């Protein structure tokens, strides 16, 4: 069970590079970092456009003077403050990760870097060495690996529930780029540009997710691989919008990865299937609360988050923020409602009746209706399950 009370002596003073206005990934970092009051967002270089970055940062609650024009200034100026940032998240295009992460580590900061860590392997290795030297955390944001059922899968493999791993089938194949949408989408455009994105589009952008997850679950290392890649939208060449990879893992397991941006009609299809001697596990990010456990010769089992039959002594498995049965998205629904409450309260405070008339939230009328329904049910049932008028 998630422990809401847990707190550090003081929250970690935290900043961001990138993730400016309009960035979905920026919002995700901020929402996640501040969720448990373990990080405080105090400074940032959010945007290449310094003015826009400052405007956006202050809207997010930063002091204007801590909205910096670039990451160098951010790191330099914050280093001068006693209350300067201790950690930074990097949410910029791929090709810039290396230099920013390097500068951050050199500035004595803990670093959370969007994936891919870098474009070149040697750069990533250099960052690792630097982090070790600086004794600082260097994390890479593989955002799907926090799901509890992924940790359950990992624990099951560790404990031998499926036997030795034989085959790993991986996919992350969506259809959102089946036409040349980058012509009108700046957020998509840089991902097709090798100078910014690196030598790969969809393998790096999507394929790395299930690849990392499969490694995390099984612990297996790749021995060799073969990749076929294509660009069905010609202007994307030399980068690929579709790729098939075949893997040989050390120890004899094999596998494949399908990474695609042109899988028309698919939402994500991020799936990892681990085939073991005795059983298989399959997880699908579109339905993250479930894990299929298929023991040969037994009925398929659908494992659900939050249940007592899981390997709950693993903290990744038992990190329930809400009981089983509730889909994890539950909190988004609640947050959406509280957002509406805030708007309503503000309108009441401003006596803005026009707003209130067109603004929906679950109000007392629904409450009254619920009480009436319960009471009518009781009356009906306790009189022999007879019909009763509602009003």
Site for its own copies in 72-101 (CB under 8 A): 86-87
Q: What is the CA angle 381-383-388, rounded to 5?
A: 75
CB atoms within 10 A of CB 298: 10
Beta bridge partners of 12: 39
Which of these ranges, 42-50, 62-70, 72-80, 168-176, lies near its own copies under the rule CB under 8 A? 168-176
Which of these ranges, 44-52, 67-75, 76-84, 203-211, lies near its own copies under the rule CB under 8 A? 203-211
CA distances from 27 to 34, 113, 209 (A): 11, 15, 19
The yes or no reply on residue 63 touching its own copies (CB under 8 A) is: no
Burial of residue 68 (number of CB atoms within 10 Å: 0-12, 13-18, 19+): buried
The yes or no reply on residue 355 touching its own copies (CB under 8 A) is: no
Enumerate residues 206-225 that contact its own copies by CB under 8 A: 207-208, 211-212, 215-216, 221-225
The yes or no reply on residue 183 touching its own copies (CB under 8 A) is: no
The yes or no reply on residue 29 touching its own copies (CB under 8 A) is: yes
The yes or no reply on residue 115 touching its own copies (CB under 8 A) is: yes
DSSP 205: I
Integer distance in angstroms from the first to the last C-alpha of the chain?
A: 43
**Residue 83 contacts residue 42 (beta carbons within 8 Å):** yes
Enumerate residues 309-328 that contact its own copies by CB under 8 A: 309, 316, 319, 321-328
Which of these ranges, 44-52, 63-71, 72-80, 119-127, lies near its own copies under the rule CB under 8 A? 119-127
Strands 87-91 and 110-114: parallel
Min dist. Cβ of residue 251 to its own copies (A): 12
Which of these ranges, 31-39, 42-50, 68-76, 77-85, lies near its own copies under the rule CB under 8 A? 31-39
Q: Which two tokens stand for residue 89?
A: 């998240």
Min dist. Cβ of residue 49 to its own copies (A): 15
Min dist. Cβ of residue 76 to its own copies (A): 21
Min dist. Cβ of residue 153 to its own copies (A): 13
Cβ proximity to its own copies: between 7 and 235 the closer is 7
Cβ proximity to its own copies: between 146 and 160 the closer is 146
DSSP secondary structure string for all residues of 63-124: -GGGB-SSHHHHHHHHHHSTT--SEEEEES-GGGHHHHHHHHHHTT-EEEEESSS-SSHHHH
Report the residue count for the chain: 391
Measured over the CA atoms of residue 229, residue 234, residue 237 and residue 240, the dihedral's sign is negative
The yes or no reply on residue 176 touching its own copies (CB under 8 A) is: yes
**Which of 242, 272, 283, 318 contacts its own copies by CB under 8 A?**
242
**Which of 50, 180, 295, 355 contacts its own copies by CB under 8 A?**
295
The yes or no reply on residue 54 touching its own copies (CB under 8 A) is: no
Enumerate residues 275-294 that contact its own copies by CB under 8 A: 275-280, 285-289, 293-294
Q: Which two tokens stand for residue 290?
A: 């479930």
The yes or no reply on residue 102 touching its own copies (CB under 8 A) is: no
Q: What are phi and psi for residue 379, nearest 5 degrees?
A: -60, -45
Enumerate residues 128-157 that contact its own copies by CB under 8 A: 128, 131, 135-148
Burial of residue 333 (number of CB atoms within 10 Å: 0-12, 13-18, 19+): exposed
**Residue 29 contacts residue 19 (beta carbons within 8 Å):** yes
Min dist. Cβ of residue 261 to its own copies (A): 11
Helix (H) or strand (E) holding 276: strand 271-276
Which of these ranges, 45-53, 66-74, 76-84, 307-315, lies near its own copies under the rule CB under 8 A? 307-315
The yes or no reply on residue 185 touching its own copies (CB under 8 A) is: no
The yes or no reply on residue 362 touching its own copies (CB under 8 A) is: yes
């Amino acid at each position: 069970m998630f422990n809401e009370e847990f707190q550090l002596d003081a929250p970690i003073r935290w900043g961001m590079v990138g993730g400016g206005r309009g960035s979905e990934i920026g919002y995700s970092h901020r929402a996640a970092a501040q969720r448990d009051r373990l990080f405080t967002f105090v400074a940032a270089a959010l945007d290449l456009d310094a003015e826009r970055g400052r405007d956006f940062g202050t809207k997010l609650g930063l002091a204007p003077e801590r909205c910096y024009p670039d990451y160098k200034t951010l790191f330099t100026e914050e280093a001068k403050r006693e209350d300067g940032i201790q950690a930074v998240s990097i949410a910029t295009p791929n090709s810039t990760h290396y230099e920013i992460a390097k500068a951050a580590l050199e500035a004595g900061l803990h670093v959370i870097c969007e994936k891919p860590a870098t474009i070149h392997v040697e750069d990533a290795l250099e960052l690792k060495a630097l982090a070790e030297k600086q004794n600082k955390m260097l994390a890479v944001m593989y955002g799907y690996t926090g799901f509890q059922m992924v940790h359950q899968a990992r624990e099951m493999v560790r404990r031998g529930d499926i036997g030795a791993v034989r085959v790993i089938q991986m996919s992350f194949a969506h259809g959102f780029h089946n036409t040349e949408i980058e012509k009108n989408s700046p957020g998509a455009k840089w991902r097709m540009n090798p100078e910014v994105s690196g030598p790969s589009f969809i393998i790096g952008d999507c394929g790395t997710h299930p690849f990392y997850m499969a490694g995390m679950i099984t612990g297996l290392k790749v021995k060799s691989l073969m990749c076929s890649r294509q660009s069905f939208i010609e202007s994307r060449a030399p980068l690929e919008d579709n790729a098939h990879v075949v893997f040989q893992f050390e120890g004899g397991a094999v596998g494949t990865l399908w990474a695609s941006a042109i899988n028309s009609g698919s939402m994500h299809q991020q799936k990892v299937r681990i085939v073991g001697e005795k059983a298989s596990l399959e997880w699908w990010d579109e339905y993250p609360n479930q894990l299929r456990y298929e023991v040969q010769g037994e009925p398929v089992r659908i494992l659900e988050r939050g249940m007592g039959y899981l390997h709950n002594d693993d903290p990744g498995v038992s990190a329930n923020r809400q009981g089983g049965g509730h889909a994890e998205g539950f909190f988004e629904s609640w947050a959406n409602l509280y957002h509406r409450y805030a708007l309503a309260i503000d309108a009441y405070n401003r006596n803005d009746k026009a707003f209130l008339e067109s603004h929906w939230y679950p109000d007392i009328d629904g409450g009254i209706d619920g009480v009436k329904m319960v009471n009518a049910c009781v009356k009906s049932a306790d009189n022999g399950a007879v019909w009763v008028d509602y009003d």
